[in-house]
Amino acid sequence: MKRLLIMDTCTKTLGVALTEGHVVLAEQTIEAVQNHSKFLMPTIEAVIHTAKLTPSQLEGIVVAKGPGSYTGVRIGVTVAKTLAWTLKLPLYAISSLKGMALSEQNLRPFSGWLIPIIDARRNTVFTGAYRKKADGSWESKGDRHISFETWLRLLKEMNEPIRFIGGDVPLFQTQIEAVFGALSELPVFSLHVSSYVEAGTIDYLVDVVHDFVPEYLRLAEAEQKWMAKMKGGHVDV
């Protein structure tokens, strides 16, 4: 199995790992990073040096492509695509939401749906639903940007066991409890990007590294307004 450099800068948590097959050579997770710009590259450098390797010894790059903070996502994607291009390595991209589900499943396995939540402001979230099936494969319900209220209604209608995950869950606790009743406890979520190692497979391979861009899941505000204007419609962002 390949020697992979894995990185995720989509939320306030920075994760960088170096894996070889299913062995974690080095991993660093930093919570509450205000500024991925200052920490991502030094962390990559540290992880590679800790494993006594050089950049040229890498065999693949895995990156969380979003959704999440626009700036954070762009920093990770830019570093990953530049490294993959210049070192001529395969690039693998994984949804940041699936990354959260993989992290959770590794630490606290759950047979129901994992619901990763990333706050997207104005009571909207980036979210999805992921479930690991008995045969070990994953099923998902598609990443989306959605009003949290609507999302709660959809999940309620689904009427299946669910678990909300992510550092932003406490922000929505009151609303969740209003629909699903009191949560027994809010487990501390922790991101472990070494659990993204399964992303280093053909299913996640980026075809053209040059063309690789983040998965924003949302147009820039100016573009939403512009498109609404072009349609002569109502502007609601």
Partner 1 sequence: MGEIMSTEKKNIVILSIETSCDETSAAIVKNGTELISHVVHSQIVSHKRFGGVVPEIASRHHVEMITYVIEKAIQDASYDWSEIDAVAVTQGPGLVGALLVGLHAAKALAFAHQKPLIPVHHIAGHIYANALVEPLVYPLIALVVSGGHTELIYMKAPGYFEVIGETRDDAVGEAYDKVARKLNMPYPGGPHIDHLAKQGKATYSLPRAWLEEGSLDFSFSGLKSAVINLMHNLEQKNEPISPENMAASFQESVLDVLIQKTEQALERYSVNHLIVAGGVAANLGLRAELEKLKKRKGIQISIPPLALCTDNAAMIGAAGYVAYQNGVRAGMDCNAEPGLNLDDFSS
In the complex, the residues that contact partner 1 under the rule CB under 8 A are 35, 37-42, 44-45, 54-56, 70-71, 74-75, 77-79, 81-83, 85-87, 209-211, 213-214, 216, 220-223, 226
**Number of C-beta neighbours around residue 122 at 10 A:** 8
Is residue 92 helix, strand or coil?
strand
Choose between 86 and 111: whose C-beta lies nearer to partner 1. Answer: 86
- Block residue for tokens 């991925």: 36
Shortest Å distance, C-beta 103 to partner 1: 24
Choose between 77 and 129: whose C-beta lies nearer to partner 1. Answer: 77
Q: Write the CA distances from 180 to 54, 113, 117, 145, integer angstroms.
A: 50, 14, 16, 21
Shortest Å distance, C-beta 6 to partner 1: 15
The answer to whether 5 and 44 have CB atoms below 8 angstroms apart is: yes
Choose between 6 and 165: whose C-beta lies nearer to partner 1. Answer: 6
Choose between 135 and 221: whose C-beta lies nearer to partner 1. Answer: 221
Nearest in space to 165 (alpha carbons), one of 95, 214, 108? 108
Shortest Å distance, C-beta 141 to partner 1: 26
Shortest Å distance, C-beta 213 to partner 1: 5
**What length does the chain have?**
237
* Crossing angle for the helix pair 36-50 and 70-86, to the nearest 10 degrees: 40
Question: How far is Cα of residue 198 from the mean position of the Cα atoms in its chain?
Answer: 14
Shortest Å distance, C-beta 56 to partner 1: 8
Choose between 180 and 226: whose C-beta lies nearer to partner 1. Answer: 226
Pull the structure tokens for residue 26.
């080095």
